[in-house]
């Protein structure tokens, strides 16, 4: 990963990012690539380089915070999303240090990246972290027949003594959109109740899938409601664009800022309960969960699968799919950089 | 509802509740009965009367708050759940008035009731409200084969100008447990992927259903993760019992407090964004959502169905099922109270 990360930083610097922006974007991509969330991993590097070089994303932003009690508003000056969000979470953690809890809305940000990366940053600082954003419309409403919400993720991380944080990073759609693209290229049928055709009817035909279903299948009002929560916290509470108002991530316009909002929150456990009691409570909960009888596969806590994957990848390297590998080679050519040699794979 | 509510208050007072406890419990039940959430409506009155009379719930609690910045801890002295939670949410709203955001953990509480009632109390005070708790184990983990989490609800309410609040009140299980009981009594098959037999295998046979599935069907790790969030915030962050450690709601022990935790949070929108911009954002979001093309049924925002039901019930009365009606008659006899005359119905 170190080789890939150095390359990513160098590409972003060459595309026009300042040191902090390049480091933050690389940190978020490395998080996702390590944990096996390849949709938000190094695969995004060409996109970020294009967005910075084109001017959609400001590679040298001046972040401005305004505080009001335990709350802050960040105007991110059209920063790369991870640059804005890591800074916002650091401020939320700082507020939680002073007030027990801290929340920050982000204005004028851009593509969020892996929400779990930012929740995790809070957990690494000893706080419970929560991060959410809205994103390009691609998910229908419950009973809906058009793309309305984004996949609007909710991520929560909780510190665990002597262990990896409890880490939930979930889209509020049934599946991510790139799963549809993957199934198309594999010629496979989608799982039931995960996607709909252009009229909003359920389809398992990846070729006909025009939009995603909200999480919950027949109970999709729950997934749609959670997507709405993400929308309200990240777009309405920041005064930014709703999902269906955001210019498409894929362009063609790479010059104009997308004016995206986001929301982060940190809670300091010691403000609520004796720290020893909190640690013991998490340990007791996780031991009970991991020891719970399983029907088939072993029972896992949120994050267990991802941390195991990170261990594998730290040992074996991060696999990179052929499309991304070709895009990285093009970037190496464009910016006259030494091409890294990641492990080829499905990514 | 007024007649039923007066009766409920009188029963609770006669069972040993002080005026505030009787009023709070009645308010929460009336909320649920009005909005059509009958599982948490007037049906709970016999249970609450038994719990107070038996000593499990302290009808005359002395609530003690400790504040630390924008955070407070409430020791509810084994109060009735609504008594504790309305007080905690009022404090969270007060903290949000001072700090922009406020969170309160609740210790030594009891059965929560309808989570949406408490989130709504924040919205009625102009805040975004969030309420959650854990509860008796009845939901398996993803890939699990035993009852582990409770139905652990998440409720969020958001104020809307000139309209009813946006109101999401969802169990993190696929369905509530009393849906299983209902389908048993109707001899009907359950929806797919909502319940499991004693070995954790999916079943649609209500008679064989031994535990609920987490929300999400094949993606049940998301529902289980959300249940875990409820568990961590309400039990670990308060130092109270995990779902599988809570004594059964149904008894037989009605003398010993159940030591349940809960968590509430309030955000004051004006601390984050210009109030006019927030109101306009919510209006724009809801207009787009309600105007979104529908596949079959009309598209609704969270709460729309419930507010429409409340309007019908305010006009026609609250229907009460035969079992509950008989239990209310028994209470009227026990405490020598005039029996209310609610609309008989399916409840």
Domain membership of residue B266 (yes or no) is yes
CB proximity A99 to B under 8 Å = yes
Q: Which chain A residues have a beta carbon less than 8 Å from that of B299?
A: 141-144
Q: Which domain holds residue B146?
A: 61-172+214-317
Domain boundary among A192, A213, A234: A213
CB proximity A84 to B under 8 Å = no
Going by C-alpha positions, the residue among A134, A103, A201 that lies closest to residue B288 is A134
Distance of CA B99 to the CA centre of its chain: 27
CB proximity A126 to B under 8 Å = no
Interface touch B228/A144, C-beta < 8 Å: no
Residues A191, A230: one domain? Answer: no
CB proximity A65 to B under 8 Å = no
Tokens representing A321? 């799919």
CB proximity A102 to B under 8 Å = yes
Domain membership of residue A328 (yes or no) is no
Domain membership of residue B69 (yes or no) is yes
Domain membership of residue B131 (yes or no) is yes
Residues B71, B206: one domain? Answer: no
Interface touch B288/A242, C-beta < 8 Å: yes
B335: part of which helix (H) or strand (E)? none
Q: What is the torsional sign of CA A184, A189, A194, A195?
A: positive
Domain membership of residue B14 (yes or no) is no
- Measured CA to CA, the distance from residue A199 to residue A144 in angstroms comes to 9
- Measured CA to CA, the distance from residue B213 to residue B120 in angstroms comes to 27
Specify whether the backbone of B3 is left (phi greater than 0), alpha (psi in -120 to 50) or beta.
alpha
Residues B168, B195: one domain? Answer: no
Which residues fall within 8 angstroms of residue A241, CB to CB, at 6 or more apart? A134, A235, A258, A259, A260, A261
Domain boundary among A158, A192, A213: A213
User: Cα Rg for chain B, rounded, in angstroms?
Assistant: 20
- Measured CA to CA, the distance from residue B273 to residue A191 in angstroms comes to 40
Per-residue confidence (pLDDT) for residue B346, from 0 to 100: 64
* pLDDT tens column, B266-315: 999 999 999 999 999 999 999 999 999 998 788 999 999 999 999 999 99
Residues A133, A237: one domain? Answer: yes
What CATH number should be reported for the domain holding residue B218?
3.30.1370.60
* pLDDT tens column, B153-192: 999 999 999 899 999 999 999 998 888 988 998 899 999 9
Residues B178, B155: one domain? Answer: no
Residues A181, A167: one domain? Answer: no
**Beta partners for A65?**
A74
| Residue B263 φ/ψ, nearest 5 degrees | -145, 135
What CATH number should be reported for the domain holding residue A200?
3.30.60.50
Specify whether the backbone of B209 is left (phi greater than 0), alpha (psi in -120 to 50) or beta.
beta
Confidence of residue B2 (pLDDT cuts 50, 70, 90): confident
Interface touch B285/A235, C-beta < 8 Å: yes
Residues A65, A205: one domain? Answer: no
Q: Identify whether the C-beta of residue B134 lies closer than 8 Å to the C-beta of residue B123.
A: no
Residues B203, B247: one domain? Answer: no
- Percentage of the residues of chain B whose pLDDT score is greater than 70: 99
CB proximity B222 to A under 8 Å = yes
Domain membership of residue B104 (yes or no) is yes
* Helix, strand, or coil (residue B173): strand
Domain membership of residue B45 (yes or no) is no
* Helix, strand, or coil (residue A68): strand
B49: part of which helix (H) or strand (E)? helix B45-54
Residues B207, B221: one domain? Answer: no
**Beta partners for A104?**
A72, A264
Strands A101-109 and A71-75, sheet pairing: parallel
Residues A189, A250: one domain? Answer: no
Q: Give the relative orientation of helices A275-290 and B220-231 as an angle to the nearest 10 degrees.
A: 150
Q: Which chain B residues have a beta carbon less than 8 Å from that of A99?
A: 69-71, 99
Calculate ∠ Cα A265-A270-A272, nearest 5°: 75
CB proximity B286 to A under 8 Å = no
- Indicate the number of domains in chain A: 2
Domain membership of residue A287 (yes or no) is yes
Domain boundary among A213, A238, A269: A213
* pLDDT tens column, A158-192: 999 989 999 999 999 999 888 898 899 889 999 99
Residues B202, B261: one domain? Answer: no
Q: Which chain A residues have a beta carbon less than 8 Å from that of B143?
A: 294-300
pTM of the model: 0.97
* pLDDT tens column, B242-272: 999 999 999 999 999 999 999 999 999 999 9
* pLDDT tens column, A39-85: 999 999 999 999 999 999 999 999 999 999 999 999 999 999 999 99
Residues B249, B292: one domain? Answer: yes
Nearest CA in chain A to B170: A222
């Amino acid at each position: 990963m170190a080789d890939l990360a150095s390359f990513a930083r160098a590409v972003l610097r060459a595309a026009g990012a300042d040191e902090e922006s390049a480091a933050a974007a690389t940190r978020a991509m490395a998080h996702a690539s390590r944990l096996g969330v390849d949709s938000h991993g190094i695969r995004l590097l060409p996109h970020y380089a294009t967005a910075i070089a084109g001017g959609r994303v400001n590679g040298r932003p001046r972040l401005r915070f305004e505080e009001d009690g335990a709350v802050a508003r960040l105007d991110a000056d059209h920063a790369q999303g991870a640059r804005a969000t890591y800074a916002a979470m650091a401020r939320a953690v700082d507020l939680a240090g002073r007030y027990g809890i801290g929340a920050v809305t982000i204005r004028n940000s851009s593509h969020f990246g892996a929400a779990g990366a930012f929740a995790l940053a809070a957990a690494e600082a000893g706080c419970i972290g929560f991060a959410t954003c809205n994103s390009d419309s691609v998910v229908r409403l419950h009973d809906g027949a058009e793309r309305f919400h984004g996949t609007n993720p909710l991520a929560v991380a909780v510190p665990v003594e002597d262990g990896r944080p409890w880490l939930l990073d979930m889209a509020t759609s049934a599946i991510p959109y790139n799963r549809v693209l993957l199934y198309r290229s594999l010629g496979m049928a989608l799982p039931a109740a995960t996607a709909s055709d252009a009229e909003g009817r359920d389809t398992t035909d990846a070729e006909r899938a025009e939009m995603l279903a909200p999480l919950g299948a027949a109970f999709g009002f729950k997934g749609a409601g959670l997507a709405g929560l993400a929308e309200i916290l990240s777009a309405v509470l920041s005064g930014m664009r709703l999902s269906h108002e955001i210019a498409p991530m894929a362009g063609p316009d790479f010059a104009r800022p997308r004016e995206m909002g986001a929301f982060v929150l940190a809670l300091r456990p010691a403000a609520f309960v004796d720290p020893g009691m909190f640690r013991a409570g998490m340990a007791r909960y996780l031991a009970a969960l991991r020891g719970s009888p399983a029907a088939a596969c072993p029972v896992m806590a949120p994050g267990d699968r991802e941390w195991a994957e990170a261990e594998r990848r730290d040992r074996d390297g991060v696999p990179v799919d052929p499309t991304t590998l070709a895009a990285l080679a093009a970037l190496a050519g464009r910016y006259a950089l030494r091409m890294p040699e990641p492990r080829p794979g499905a990514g």
